[in-house]
């Protein structure tokens, strides 16, 4: 009760700067880890425009993070919705937000199989494009978007999620129409458009050995072909009980051995029961929710809260151990209220994946992370 009063008072007078029960300001994540790696969050349009309803989240972003990623505004369907129409407004505002706040700005993403309109792969009659026509379209998109933010966006996720669970290449329209070298081409185009931007390959579940082996094979091939690849993004969509820390450890080591910067790019830790083993955003949204799938609608019980805190502490101890290899840790959101996990893989659940609760208050997981950072 006392904590609630302190926080309510602080929110009123200081825009929700969180204080602990001793009335002290919470330390900023970016300060605690400043000698280790950048700390980031993916932000959405209400953050970018600093809308009134998002004021406490915006305060958290400014206080705790020194790098930002765009949750959606730079994805193909948002920034290039029709063949001859770009929608740069939201992207421009995102980049301005980062510049204004002195943050390292990430571009996410250029080439992906999701959130990419169907027209990208077809001509005006709806006939599938051939290799040359799709390469030209890829080139024009990458040049238009990367050039616009040249010198401002410091790192781009060039290709997102090209590898299947078994390590083979995902049979996306990019692969089917262009062939395996679509990945190389995307990196080459992005490098031509901004030679100073860091270019990354980004994917999920690389902690699973077969998928990791496939990504390593892909990257070795790209490196042999001279691709301008600076880093690997481990998305980090984790669960309290998956993946084992040992697998995260091995994964970081394996990619660092390839000479890549390693980044945790989309960190969140789901506490809800797994309703599917697939971690692909295409999973059906028609699943009928059962009560046992959504057990924490009235708050997270203390045992689960502590388990989440221990999980986060374990992850950050590991990240700090690899501080020479990890350059950035970015959460895929800010507070529990704005996580995609509340609606994925099924809609309408109440998840608790972050360090800040729905009222922007630091959770025990926040304290676990801070403790892991204080050596």
Q: Which residues bind ligand GLA (CB under 6 A)?
A: 108, 160, 204, 235, 266, 281, 340
Minimum CB distance to ligand GLA smaller for 18 or for 238: 238
Minimum separation from the CB atom of position 235 to ligand GLA (A): 5
Gyration radius from the chain CA atoms: 21
Per the CB < 8 A criterion, the answer to whether 32 and 372 are in contact is no
The token duo for 218 is 């892909």
Minimum separation from the CB atom of position 254 to ligand GLA (A): 20
Minimum separation from the CB atom of position 202 to ligand GLA (A): 6
Minimum separation from the CB atom of position 121 to ligand GLA (A): 19
Cis peptide before 18 (omega within 30 of 0): no
Q: Cβ neighbours of residue 356 under 8 Å, at least 6 residues apart?
A: 18, 60, 334, 335, 336, 362, 363, 366
Minimum CB distance to ligand GLA smaller for 239 or for 317: 239
- Where in the chain does DSSP place strands (E)? 38-43, 67-70, 104-111, 153-160, 198-203, 231-234, 237-239, 261-270, 326-331
- The residue annotated as part of the active site, out of 26, 57, 71, 266, is 266
Minimum CB distance to ligand GLA smaller for 20 or for 164: 164
> How many CB atoms sit inside 10 A of residue 132's CB?
10
Minimum CB distance to ligand GLA smaller for 30 or for 113: 113
The token duo for 189 is 């185009």
Q: What residue number has its CB nearest to ligand GLA?
A: 340
Minimum separation from the CB atom of position 146 to ligand GLA (A): 17
266 is known as an active-site residue: yes
Minimum CB distance to ligand GLA smaller for 207 or for 266: 266
Q: Cβ neighbours of residue 295 under 8 Å, at least 6 residues apart?
A: 272, 273
161 is known as an active-site residue: yes
- The residue annotated as part of the active site, out of 26, 71, 161, 207, is 161
The token duo for 300 is 């997270």
What positions carry a catalytic annotation?
161, 266
């Amino acid at each position: 009760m006392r904590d609630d009063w302190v926080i309510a008072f602080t929110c009123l007078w200081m825009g929700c700067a969180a204080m602990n029960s001793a009335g002290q300001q919470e330390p900023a994540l970016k300060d605690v880890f400043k000698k280790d790696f950048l700390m980031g969050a993916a932000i959405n349009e209400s953050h970018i425009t600093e809308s009134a309803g998002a004021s406490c989240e915006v305060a958290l972003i400014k206080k705790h993070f020194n790098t930002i990623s765009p949750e959606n505004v730079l994805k193909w369907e948002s920034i290039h919705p029709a063949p001859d129409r770009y929608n740069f407004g939201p992207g421009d505002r995102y980049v301005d937000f980062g510049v204004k706040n002195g943050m390292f700005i990430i571009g996410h993403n250029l080439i992906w199989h999701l959130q990419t309109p169907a027209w990208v792969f077809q001509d005006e009659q709806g006939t599938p494009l051939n290799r040359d026509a799709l390469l030209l379209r890829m080139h024009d998109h990458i040049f238009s978007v990367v050039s616009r933010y040249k010198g401002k966006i410091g790192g781009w996720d060039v290709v997102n999620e090209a590898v299947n669970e078994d390590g083979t290449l995902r049979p996306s329209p990019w692969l089917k129409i262009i062939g395996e070298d679509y990945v190389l081409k995307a990196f080459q185009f992005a490098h031509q458009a901004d030679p100073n931007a860091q270019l990354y390959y980004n994917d999920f579940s690389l902690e699973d050995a077969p998928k990791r082996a496939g990504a390593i094979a892909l990257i070795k091939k790209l490196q042999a072909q001279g691709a301008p690849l600076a880093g690997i993004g481990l998305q980090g969509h984790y669960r309290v009980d998956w993946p084992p820390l040992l697998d995260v450890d091995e994964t970081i080591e394996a990619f660092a051995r390839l000479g890549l910067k390693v980044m945790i790019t989309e960190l969140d830790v789901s506490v809800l029961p797994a309703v599917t083993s697939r971690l692909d955003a295409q999973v059906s949204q028609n699943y009928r929710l059962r009560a046992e799938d959504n057990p924490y609608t009235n708050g997270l019980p203390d045992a689960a809260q502590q388990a989440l805190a221990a999980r986060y502490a374990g992850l950050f101890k590991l990240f700090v151990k690899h501080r020479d290899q990890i350059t950035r840790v970015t959460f895929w959101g800010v507070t529990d209220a704005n996580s995609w996990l509340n609606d994925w893989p099924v809609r309408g659940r109440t998840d608790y994946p972050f360090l800040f609760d729905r009222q922007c208050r630091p959770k025990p997981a926040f304290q676990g992370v801070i403790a892991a950072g204080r050596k």
